[in-house]
Amino acid sequence: MSSDGISPQPPIEQSSNNSSNTNVETAVETPPPSTDTASQSSALPKWRSKSKKPLWPAVALAMLVVAGFVGVKAYQTLTAAPPLEETDDATNQSRLPIRVLRAQKGPIQGWVFDEGSVWPVRRRILNFQASGDIIYVAKVDGVELREGDFVSQGQLLATIDARRQESSIATAEADIQVSETQLNQSRASLLQSQANLEKAKSDLALAETELQRYENLFEQGAVSESDRDAYINRVDQAAAALKTAEQDVRSAGESIRSSEAGVNASVARLNQSAVDLEDTQLVSPLDGVVAYINIREGEYWSTQYLNTSSPQDLIESAPIVVVDPQSFEVEIELQAGEAGEIKPGQRAYVVLEEEVSALQAAGANSQGLLDIARQRGSGGQVFAVSPSQTPGSRGTEITIRNLEQVGNLKVGGRVYVWIEVARDNDAVVLPLGALVSRNQQYYAFVVNETDGTVQQRRITGGIEGLSGVEILSGIEPGELVVIEGQNRLVDGTPVEIVDRN
pLDDT tens digits for range 1-60:
333 433 344 443 443 333 333 333 333 333 444 434 333 333 333 433 444 455 656 666
| Whether the predicted pLDDT of 146 surpasses 70 | yes
Cα radius of gyration rounded to whole Å, the chain: 62
Residue 469 — very low, low, confident or very high, per pLDDT cuts 50/70/90? Answer: very high
Q: Which amino acid is at 314?
A: L
Predicted local distance difference test score (pLDDT) of residue 475: 93
Predicted local distance difference test score (pLDDT) of residue 358: 75
Rounded to an integer, the average pLDDT of 436-460 is 91
Rounded to an integer, the average pLDDT of 428-445 is 89
| Whether the predicted pLDDT of 392 surpasses 50 | yes
- Cβ within 8 Å of residue 273, ≥6 positions away: 165, 168, 169, 171, 172
Predicted local distance difference test score (pLDDT) of residue 70: 60
pLDDT tens digits for range 347-359:
998 888 887 777 7
pTM reported for the whole predicted model = 0.54
Residue 430 — very low, low, confident or very high, per pLDDT cuts 50/70/90? Answer: very high
pLDDT tens digits for range 61-71:
667 666 666 66
> For all residues of the chain together, what is the average pLDDT?
79
Residue 360 — very low, low, confident or very high, per pLDDT cuts 50/70/90? Answer: confident
3-state secondary structure 450-473: CCCEEEEEECEEEEECCCEEEEEE
| Whether the predicted pLDDT of 476 surpasses 90 | yes
Residue 154 — very low, low, confident or very high, per pLDDT cuts 50/70/90? Answer: very high
Question: What proportion of the chain, given as a percentage, has pLDDT over 90?
Answer: 30
| Whether the predicted pLDDT of 285 surpasses 90 | yes
Closest CA to 422 of 387, 463, 458: 463
Residue 250 — very low, low, confident or very high, per pLDDT cuts 50/70/90? Answer: confident
For the beta carbon of residue 234, count every other beta carbon within 10 angstroms: 18
Q: Domains in the chain, ordered, with CATH?
A: 96-108+426-500 (2.40.420.20), 123-158+286-323 (2.40.50), 164-279 (1.10.287.1700), 328-423 (2.40.30.170)
Residue 221 — very low, low, confident or very high, per pLDDT cuts 50/70/90? Answer: confident
Coil, helix or strand at residue 325:
coil
Distance CA 421, CA 462 (A): 13
Q: Among 212-226, 298-312, 378-392, whose mean pLDDT is lowest? A: 212-226
Question: What proportion of the chain, given as a percentage, has pLDDT over 70?
Answer: 81
Predicted local distance difference test score (pLDDT) of residue 243: 85
For the beta carbon of residue 493, count every other beta carbon within 10 angstroms: 20
Closest CA to 322 of 120, 495, 137: 120
Q: What is 13-79 written as a DSSP string?
A: PPPGGGHHHHHHHHHS--PPPPHHHHHHHHHS-HHHHT----SHHHHHHHHHHHHHHHHHHHHHHHH
For residue 321, the cross-strand partners are 125, 292
Residue 87 — very low, low, confident or very high, per pLDDT cuts 50/70/90? Answer: very low
Predicted local distance difference test score (pLDDT) of residue 345: 93
